[in-house]
Amino acid sequence: MSINRREFLKKSSVIAGVTIMPKYLSAMASKQSPPKKKPNILMIAVDDMNNWVGVMENKAKTPNIDALAKSGMLFNNAYCVAPACNPSRTSLLTGLRPETTNLYTNKPDFRDQPGGKDIVTLPQYLREF
């Protein structure tokens, strides 16, 4: 599968918010070859956790999430493009808004929508490294 990196970046404002290491983003934007070393990316997407983790000074005991947050990056404000899981997760993994994917509820698969088979997801893009 051939992926146009510049087009992917234009569509991936949501993905950029997830914080992929800057050197990978700059390599993608300038059409440089990927770094020889494979990216080391850990993405945890939990859409119903809220702010109940211990690192946010709440009562839940979450020592592993707390340690990860202290050694990495913690986002205190979170936003999503849709109040339903399917369109929100699809946006996160494609960089496309529900108006583009035509997903507004949890029922359809984005691949079954018009043009859905041609959409490149973040895992597909990262597979190219």
- Alpha-carbon distance of 66 to 71, in angstroms, equals 9
Instruction: Name residues whose C-beta falls within 8 Å of residue 59's C-beta, 6 or more positions apart in sequence.
Output: 52
Around Cβ 117, how many Cβ atoms within 10 Å? Answer: 9
80 in active site: no
Q: Which of 41, 43, 67, 85 is catalytic?
A: 85
Around Cβ 1, how many Cβ atoms within 10 Å? Answer: 8
Give the catalytic positions in this structure: 85
